[in-house]
Chain A
Amino acid sequence: MSSKAKISRSVVAGFPSPAEQYQEPPLDLNELLVKRPAATFFVRVQGDSMIGEGIHDGDLLVVDRSLRPASGDVIIACVDGDFTVKTYRRDKDGVRLEPANPDFPVIQIKPGHQLDYFGKVTACIHRFVGK
């Protein structure tokens, strides 16, 4: 009788599940990929200009606007009214946006012009199913 009472669902008393003290919230991709939700935006990639960095047509990019760009970062910027994803370079030759595909030209930011920076790419989500 007593062993039956222990497994009854309606009885709350008894021994707690040994797993209880190890319970944790499930893994959350937002927590992993979005450090600052207020400053984070998602954008969709069109084309192959950054294929060498593993960024493919149709991929989803996680962009954090709160981060300042450093030379070598993959960033989103606006050039002539269009948003583009490129590698940001800043050195003695000035500021430029480099594609990761030899078929695309390097975009030189003219001296005296300010780069219209949108944000830094922190992750690329490439889906194999359900694009």
Chain B
Amino acid sequence: MIGLVDVNNCFVSCERVFNRSLVGRPVAVLSNNDGCCVARSNEFKALGIAMGTPYFQLKNREKSGELVFCSSNYELYGDMSRRLISILREEALDVEQYSIDEAFICPPIPADKVRGNREEGREEIAAWLLDYGKRLRAKILRWIGLPCGIGFAPTKTLAKIADHIAKKRPEGVFVLPDDPTDILASLPADEVWGVGRRLVVKLRAEQIFTAKDLRDAPDDVIRSVGGVVLLRTALELRGVPSNEDKDYDADPDSVSCSRSFGEPVTTLDGLAESLASFTAQAATKLRKHSLLAAGCNVYAQIFHSGGGGDFLGRTVMFPTPTDATNEMLKAIREEVDALFIPGTRYRKTGVVFFGLEKVGTARQLDLFSPVEKSEASPLYKAIDSLNKRYGKGKVFSAAEGLGERSWKMKRTKLSKRPTTRWDELMTVR
């Protein structure tokens, strides 16, 4: 079984931990350069204001006191995300961070529950998972103040669906039933993880409207509509784990890259090189999807012979949202030292990008934000095509910067960064 833990309205929830006056009010967090709404509280959603609504259209309602806005405080969200992962690490057998506010977990189902395949045994596991999920959820809420939904299912794609249902339940936890046909029949096919809107027309032509239709369609039909990627999704809907690809290449919502080392890494150079290489790989994916990232979390896991091990992590903000590998490497390089403890053996490193936006889109929403610097893009387009043609990593960055940026990301409504800056701590009277 796989669990998906997903923080509810993550950015807004992070703001509310340290600013209680935001509780119960319609709050939205704005994208890079205060462009548009990228996270909304339930109260904000209830007003019918869509994700992506430009901020300038809502300024009057902010002045009147109806709505509250915050700039993206990625330093805070990144730190809270690291705390979440470290709690999950304590409570689960394995954790795979999927995005800044989501992670797949492998729940530690007790061995005596797994034995046998009796009907009774499966019910016992479901009951155990529900209880485990509730305890985990309560712990996360108490320790870091973030509410989350937790869904359990046999595959990642089904866990996503279970999590979606979990969020609508008061207990915040849902275990997908053995036969989820009814649930799949009420879910539009394009809302299944990894399917996407662009396939809707093709799917309809094949009479595939719901997740159930997709699950039950013949393999050759599925393949003709969406290739092997869609077939994998269909297999997952059938309960067959088929998404072991850790880079989630088909999904632009999450851009990350991580690997466990064959042999534990013990040197600063080894650590730095692995992170640089993963950053370059993830950046290639950003460019493939025409995305810019505002920053990233870099992490390293310490090797323990018994498996698992503590995570060390840093949040890195890029001077401005970017898709340029060399600018990322320059920003990341300064943080790698903080992850390195001499004499420590490392099991795994990784990078997770956040603050993703389509190239050009967020900027156009705000006439007064500085013009996007564009010279990096053709360069990397060329590098990507060379790498595609001659093999991954043939052309790479020497980790040199292009020089200082002349401007920084605009964040006029930035809250304090109480977990990463000594001079911005929360004050108590």
Chain A interface residues (CB < 8 Å from chain B) = 36-39, 41-47, 49, 60-61, 65-66, 76, 78, 81-85, 116, 118
Cβ-neighbour of A76 out of B143, B144, B428 (below 8 A): B428
Residue B145 interfacial (CB < 8 Å)? yes
A43-B427 in contact (CB<8A): yes
- Alpha-carbon distance between A66 and B419 when the two chains are bound, in angstroms: 16
Say whether, besides A65-B143, A65-B144, A66-B142, A43 and B86 are in contact (CB < 8 Å).
Answer: no
A37 to B143, CA, bound (A): 10
14 contacts across the A-B interface (CB closer than 8 A): A37-B86, A38-B83, A38-B144, A39-B142, A43-B425, A43-B428, A45-B429, A46-B429, A47-B429, A66-B139, A66-B142, A81-B21, A82-B429, A83-B20
Is the CB–CB distance between A38 and B143 below 8 Å? yes
B83 touches A83 (CB 8 A): no
- How far is it, in angstroms, between the C-alpha of A116 and the C-alpha of B139 when the chains are bound? 17
B20 in contact with A46 (CB, 8 Å): no
Question: Is residue B87 contacting chain A, with contact meaning CB distance below 8 A?
Answer: yes
Query: Could you give, for residues 184-214 of chain B, a 1 whenever the CB lies within 8 Å of some chain A CB and a 0 otherwise?
Result: 0000000000000000000000000000000
Compute how far the CA of A104 lies from the CA of B19 in the bound complex, rounded to whole angstroms.
24
B264 at the interface (CB under 8 A from A): no
- Tell me the bound Cα distance from A129 to B104 in angstroms: 46
Q: Which of B90, B145, B418 contacts A65 (CB 8 A)?
A: B145
CB of B426 closer than 8 Å to a CB of A: yes
Q: B397-424 interface mask toward A, CB cutoff 8 Å, 1 = contact, 0 = none?
A: 0000000000000000000001100100
Interface SS, A side = strand
CA distance A43 to B416 in the complex (A): 12
Q: Closest approach, in angstroms, between the C-beta of B59 and any C-beta of chain A?
A: 24
CB distance from B338 to the nearest CB of A (A): 13
B3 smallest CB distance to A (angstroms): 18
Q: Is the CB of B427 within 8 A of A46?
A: yes
> How far, in whole Å, are A94 and B261 apart by their CA atoms in the complex?
56
The closest CB in chain B to the CB of A104 belongs to B429
Q: Is the CB of B426 within 8 A of A36?
A: no
Q: How far is the CA of A60 from the CA of B84 in the complex (A)?
A: 24
Contact A49 B86, beta carbon cutoff 8 Å: no
Q: A37-B86, A38-B87 are in contact. Are A43 and B144 (CB under 8 A)?
A: no
Contacts of B142 in A (CB 8 A): 39, 65-66
Q: Would you list which residues of chain B between 84 and 143 have a CB under 8 Å from chain A?
A: 84, 86-87, 90, 139, 142-143
* Docked complex Cα distance between A83 and B144 (Å): 16
Chain B residues with CB below 8 A from A43, complex form: 418, 425-428
Q: How far is the CA of A82 from the CA of B143 in the complex (A)?
A: 20
Residues of B within 8 A of A61 (CB): 428
**Cβ of B425 and Cβ of A44 under 8 Å apart?**
yes
Q: What is the bound-complex CA distance between A66 and B428, given in angstroms?
A: 19
Do A38 and B429 touch (CB < 8 A)?
Answer: no
CB neighbours (8 Å) of B21 from chain A are 81
Residues of B within 8 A of A118 (CB): 145
What's the least CB distance linking B88 to chain A, in Å?
A: 10
Are B143 and A45 closer than 8 Å at their CB atoms? Answer: no
Q: Report the separation of the CA atoms of residues A36 and B21 in the bound assembly, to the nearest whole angstrom.
A: 27
B46 → chain A, closest Cβ, in Å? 22
CA distance A42 to B427 in the complex (A): 9
In the complex, A76 Cα to B428 Cα: how many Å? Answer: 8
Most A Cβ at <10 Å: residue of B142, B144, B419, B428: B428
> A83's contact among B86, B90, B139, B427, by CB below 8 Å, is which?
B427
Q: Which residues of B contact A41 (CB under 8 A)?
A: 418-419, 426
CA distance A45 to B142 in the complex (A): 22
B428 touches which one: A37, A38, A46, A81 (CB < 8 A)?
A46
Alpha-carbon gap, A118 to B141, bound state (A): 11
CA A60 – CA B429 in complex, angstroms? 12
Specify which chain B residues have a CB less than 8 angstroms from the CB of A47 in the assembled complex.
429
- Check if B20 sits within 8 Å of A116, measured CB to CB: yes
A70 to chain B, nearest CB (A): 15
Contact A44 B144 (CB under 8 A): no
**Bound Cα distance from A85 to B90, whole angstroms:** 30
Contact across chains for A42 and B425 when beta carbons are under 8 A apart: yes
Residues of the A chain whose Cβ atoms lie less than 8 Å from the Cβ of B426: 41, 43-44, 83
